[in-house]
A and B are shown apart, each in its own frame.
Chain A
Amino acid sequence: MEFKIEARMPPRLFSKVSLVYSGIGLRYFHTGFIPSGLMHLGKWVWRFYPLTLVRLDKTQEQHEEVLFSFCFIYQSINGKRFFVTQPITFVDDIREGFEFFIENIEDFAKEACLNGVDIELHQVLDEYVSYPTSYTCISYDLSSISCNHDVFVEQLRSMGYKEYVKVWTYGIAPLDDDEQTVCLQDVSPESVSRMFIYENLFSYRSWTLPTLEHGLKPFGTPQIAKFASRDGLTEAAFILRPDLLEFAKKYRTPIPQLYQKTLGKYPFSNLKVVMWLAKDIDTLLASLKKLIHSETLKGFKRTEIAGVEDRLEEVKRALSGVGFRPACYTTILSKELV
């Protein structure tokens, strides 16, 4: 069987799985081309690569879409790299062509003199994972697809990939607020982001895609930003996002953020803490309880917290202790090319 990779995102992807794109150039997405690029070694290179693996049957003159992944070049703390988001498969035999796909990506990355390739894979543990389901600007409704985490991890390990990070998402239904010692304050998302980047006093923080480049992580409105303080001192900070996948599914749109008027009135059920930092675990828990309680009063039925690195055993234990259950984990596997 012969394969080839085409740079395109097939419509059947959207028929198969609800998705939300919330990256740079929201308005451009529907026109089929996101005009975003970067300078690399003195040359202009395009940023986004929507890659479709196609199986060719030359005798029948037919082709079949096998797999899709939305990829991009990004500047990480480890140099410029190629990021491969969760591969979505269209066929039963998911192993077929995967190696070809990855090898071609590596060839492309080598040719472009990129430092390495990172691949994001999800393992779903609960019935539903709310938006954002990815640490990048494209999120899929993971409940409607097979992520094939273990199969892909095994294949990638055999190709020399190593685990770079494993990050957990926990979810919880309404939570009682028995903690009165923390004050929550609405702030601008920018102030939380600034604190996240520049403040070293907070020992506990969420994992995010290690880049400062715009539009590669989930972004834009609606979002909620809060500082949690005790005795006038900020001890934790959060950015939360409502579940745009609910909206995307109901209205069949991949770009909910183009419709702010309707979004503003939409009764979301799910909310996710996408960025967080806290001075200690007690503060994190107290703030989360207060936060979730107050958001429950506004109508949210379930809250998730993302970005919990696997190594943060105390945080994981603490979350489980108050009733959070693992919703999914994301493994990022990496390979260095130079």
Chain B
Amino acid sequence: MGDVDVLFLHPSTYVSTSDGEVVRYVAVPMGTFALADLLERNGYSTRIVHVGLKRMLDPNYKVENLIKALEPTLVGIDLHWYCHSYDAIKLADCVKRCTNAKVVLGGMTASFFADEILSSFDCVDYVIVGDAELPMIELIKALMKSTEVSDVPNLVYRKGSAVKRSRGAYLASSEDLDKLTCSDLKLLEDWDLYVRLIHENDVLSPKLKTQGWLMIGRGCSVNCSYCGGANLAHRKIFGRQQPIFRSPEKVAEDLRAFEELGISCAYMDFDPYTNRKFYYKLFELVRKEGIDISSQFLIWSLTDRNFVQDLKKTFNPLYTTLTISPETGSDFVRLKNKGFYYDNQSLLRWLEMLEEEMVPAELYFASGLSGETVEEFNKTMKLGERILRTYNNVVAISCNPLFLEPCSPRFLLPKKYGIRLKFRSFSDFYKTYKCFAEGTVPPSRLGYDTEYLNESQIIELSSKFNEVVGSILEGENLTQHCA
């Protein structure tokens, strides 16, 4: 028996560049903290280790030494985001080479490709498909008692050479989510550095704010063409038909805990309903309890003025922003791709309202959308430029090429969305990120072409957008400072 029962390892994505290794995609899924806390409260000792963070702090860090020292019974590796496909497996392999611990993967990517992962990689013993709270407790219980795992709900496992699905099914309810605590960041080693990671690959630069991701609910009500967390994916992977929320009281509790941990800004990215009834209740509670924290609130659809005013009077203005992803400057392309549609005029009116209310905005665009041509993307360029020149309260704006996300509508229905898939299986994702890690050129970087644009064009368009935006901002700084 080792020092911890369950060791959670977060795999970051390593990318070899001409300047050496860089670590990308550093966020830990919020569920990891909830699971670790839940296990602790059920009598199992746990620890969360962010392997990427360790490597940032010490390039010679060897996770093997920790695993050997702790001798965990079970190692949980999150494979929620596809970008960890290679590194999660590599980590699993590392665990197997140095201990007898069992390895379980979880998260949306692992869930979607569970059968293929277990068929292809001996270093993985189990995959939990979908919600993992009850299954994780049942799994460690079975392992500690050396009993069969076939009754552990949502579990995919190997029996001999066959891949099996367990009997039970578990779908978390709002009540279940309320039993979770997602704010005990102290379960993560180096948590005080982790909350400083507001920018990729950069833990040590001096920041104004620290940030914590807030768990508000699960699921989605709509289907954006490119999103692996869309309604379709939640139905397929979790069996969840509609989004569920935690109670405002529990979310406020986490906000209070963040404040006590010295976290300045809560990252809030769960906005599946346009009426936002939940948030009016939450905001009222936050005000009532006098919680002093900022919020980076990611809205999925345009809001009315009431919501903006309510947000403004609830959160500390220091780092409070509203973040929106219009993705494109083409109304036609937005209609084809976004679950919540709004036209450019409405977006501009909304930004104007934000300016009047003195709330800063962050905007994100993308290239590689379905139906997007070079001409349509030019509308994105023009809109981005116009917004930046018109609204000083737009404090961040950028464009990124879309990666193919497993289980996204365009992955599941490529013809409908005018996509030619280059990634179809887990191994495609695995091989691509292996190439990134080893510094070689993968056959495909994004995993698709659209009917109008190939990968190189898609990447090039985003670069062009960011160049234009960068030069405007640079010019602005020089102009502002010449006095």
Contacts of A8 in B (CB 8 A): 196, 207-210, 262, 264
Whether A164 is near chain B, meaning CB under 8 Å from some CB there, is no
The distance in angstroms between the C-alpha atoms of A223 and B265, with both chains bound, is 32
Question: How many angstroms from the CA of A81 to the CA of B293 in the assembled complex?
Answer: 33
Q: Are A27 and B392 in contact (CB under 8 A)?
A: yes
Give the interface residue-count category, chain B.
Answer: 35 or more
Please tell me if the beta carbons of B318 and A30 are within 8 angstroms of each other in the complex.
Answer: yes
Residues on B with C-beta less than 8 A from A34 are 208
Q: Given A219-B480, A219-B481, A254-B318, check contact A259 B358 (CB 8 Å).
A: yes
Most chain A Cβ neighbours within 10 Å, of B355, B360, B362: B360
A27 and B358 contact, CB distance less than 8 A = no
How does the 8 Å CB contact mask read for A208-228 relative to B, with 1 for contact and 0 for none? 000000110001100101000
Q: Tell me whether A285 is interfacial, beta carbon within 8 Å.
A: no
Q: A59 an interface residue at 8 Å Cβ cutoff?
A: no
With both beta carbons as reference points, the residue of chain A lying nearest to B265 in the complex is identified as: A32
Closest residue of chain B to A193 (Cβ to Cβ) is: B483
As a 0/1 sequence over residues 297 to 332 of chain B, the CB contacts with chain A under 8 angstroms (1 = contact) are 000000000000000100011111100000000000
The reply on B356 being an interface residue by CB < 8 A is yes
Is there an interface contact between A26 and B262, defined as CB atoms closer than 8 Å? Answer: no
**A162–B322 alpha-carbon span in the complex (Å):** 46
Q: Which residues of B have CB within 8 Å of A63?
A: 262
Contact with A along B161-201 (1 / 0, CB 8 A): 00000000000000000000000001000001000101100
A260 to B478, CA, bound (A): 18
Residues of chain A with a CB closer than 8 A to B196's CB: 7-8
* B-contacting 9-mer, from A43-51, A119-127, A312-320: A43-51
Number of A-B contacts (CB under 8 A): 134
Which residues of chain A are near B59, meaning CB under 8 Å? Answer: none
The answer to whether B473 has its CB under 8 Å from any CB of chain A is yes
Q: Is the CB of B198 within 8 A of A33?
A: yes
Rounded to whole angstroms, the CA-CA distance of A259 and B357 in the bound complex is 10
In the complex, the answer to whether A9 meets B209 with C-beta atoms within 8 Å is: yes
Residue contact A259 to B316, C-beta cutoff 8 Å: no
Q: Does B393 contact A (CB under 8 A)?
A: yes
Asked if B66 is at the interface (CB within 8 A of a chain A CB), the reply is: no
B264 touches A9 (CB 8 A): yes
Within the complex, the shortest CB–CB distance from A265 to chain B, in Å, comes to 12
Instruction: Tell me, in angstroms, the Cα distance from A62 to B476 when the chains sit together.
Output: 43
A30 adjacent to B321 (CB under 8 Å): yes
Establish whether residues A259 and B393, one from each chain, have CB atoms under 8 Å apart when the complex forms.
yes
Selected from B260, B320, B476, the residue in CB contact (under 8 A) with A30 is B320
Q: Which B residues, 202 to 220, have Cβ-Cβ distances below 8 Å to chain A?
A: 205-211
- Is A251 engaged at the interface, CB distance under 8 Å to the other chain? yes
CB neighbours of A160 from chain B (8 A): none
Tell whether B224 is near chain A: CB-to-CB under 8 Å: no
Do the beta carbons of A33 and B262 come within 8 Å of each other?
A: no
> Is A252 an interface residue, CB under 8 A from the partner?
yes
* A 17-32 to B, binary, CB cutoff 8 A, 1 in contact else 0: 0000000111111111
Chain B residue with Cβ nearest A62: B260
Are A220 and B483 in touch, CB under 8 angstroms? Answer: yes
Contact of A46 among B206, B210, B320, B321 (CB under 8 A): B206
- How long is the Cα–Cα vector from A11 to B207 in the complex, in angstroms? 13
In the assembled complex, A92 has its CB within 8 A of some CB on chain B: no
Contact call A254/B317, Cβ cutoff below 8 A: yes
Residues of B within 8 A of A13 (CB): 318
> A280 within 8 Å of B by Cβ?
no
Residue of B nearest to A192 (CB): B483
Size band of the interface chain A makes with B: 35 or more
Q: Check A33/B317 contact, CB under 8 A, given A8-B262, A261-B355.
A: no
The answer to whether A130 has its CB under 8 Å from any CB of chain B is: no
Q: Considering the chains assembled together, what is the distance between the CA atoms of A7 and B262 in angstroms?
A: 11
Instruction: Bits for A273-315, please: 1 = Cβ < 8 Å to B, else 0.
Output: 0000000000000000000000000000000000000000000
Tell me the bound Cα distance from A6 to B204 in angstroms. Answer: 11
CB distance B207 to A26 under 8 Å? no
CB pair A258–B395 under 8 Å, yes or no, is yes
A12 interface contact, C-beta 8 A? yes
* Residues A9 and B358 in contact in the complex (CB < 8 Å), given A15-B316, A30-B318, A32-B265: no
Q: How far is the CA of A31 from the CA of B287 in the complex (A)?
A: 23
Q: Mark A180-221, 1 if CB is under 8 A from B, else 0.
A: 000000001110010000000000000000000011000110
Contact of B393 among A32, A33, A215, A258 (CB under 8 A): A258
Report the nearest B residue to A72, measured CB to CB.
Answer: B206
Asked if B13 is at the interface (CB within 8 A of a chain A CB), the reply is no
Does B294 lie at the interface of the complex (its beta carbon under 8 Å from any beta carbon of A)?
yes
Q: How far is the CA of A261 from the CA of B355 in the complex (A)?
A: 9
Known: A30-B395, A32-B319, A214-B477. A259 touches B208 (CB 8 A): no
* A258 with B392: CB separation less than 8 A: yes
Most buried by A among B318, B319, B394: B318
Contacts of B396 in A (CB 8 A): 27-28, 31
- Residue numbers in B under 8 Å from A29 (CB-CB): 208, 395
Closest-CB distance, A53 to chain B (whole angstroms): 12
Contact of B206 among A7, A10, A61, A225 (CB under 8 A): A7
B199 and A33 within 8 A (CB): yes
Query: Given the complex, which residues of A lie within 8 Å of B473, measured CB to CB?
Result: 27
Query: Roughly how many angstroms separate A260 CA and B316 CA in the complex, as a whole number?
Result: 21
**Chain B residues positioned under 8 Å from A31 (CB to CB):** 198, 319, 321, 362, 395-396
Residues of A within 8 A of B318 (CB): 9, 11, 13-14, 30, 254
Q: Is A257 at the interface (CB under 8 A from chain B)?
A: yes
With both beta carbons as reference points, the residue of chain A lying nearest to B388 in the complex is identified as: A27
Q: A219-B483, A262-B356 are in contact. Are A49 and B206 (CB under 8 A)?
A: yes
CB < 8 Å: which of A9, A24, A61, A254 contacts B477? A24
Cβ proximity bits B94-110 to A, threshold 8 Å, 1 near / 0 not:
00000000000000000
Chain A to chain B contacts (Cβ below 8 Å), 29 pairs: A7-B206, A8-B262, A10-B262, A11-B264, A11-B265, A11-B316, A11-B319, A14-B316, A27-B392, A27-B394, A31-B396, A32-B198, A32-B208, A33-B205, A48-B206, A50-B208, A54-B262, A188-B483, A190-B482, A214-B482, A215-B477, A215-B480, A215-B481, A220-B483, A252-B317, A253-B358, A255-B360, A258-B360, A258-B395
9 further contact pairs, Cβ within 8 A, besides A11-B293, A27-B395: A9-B318, A11-B292, A11-B318, A14-B318, A29-B395, A63-B262, A254-B317, A258-B392, A259-B358
Closest 5 CB pairs of A and B: A32-B209, A214-B481, A11-B316, A189-B483, A7-B206
Where the two chains meet, the residues of A that have a C-beta atom closer than 8 Å to any C-beta of B are 6-15, 24-34, 46, 48-50, 52, 54, 61-63, 65, 188-190, 193, 214-215, 219-220, 223, 225, 239, 251-255, 257-262
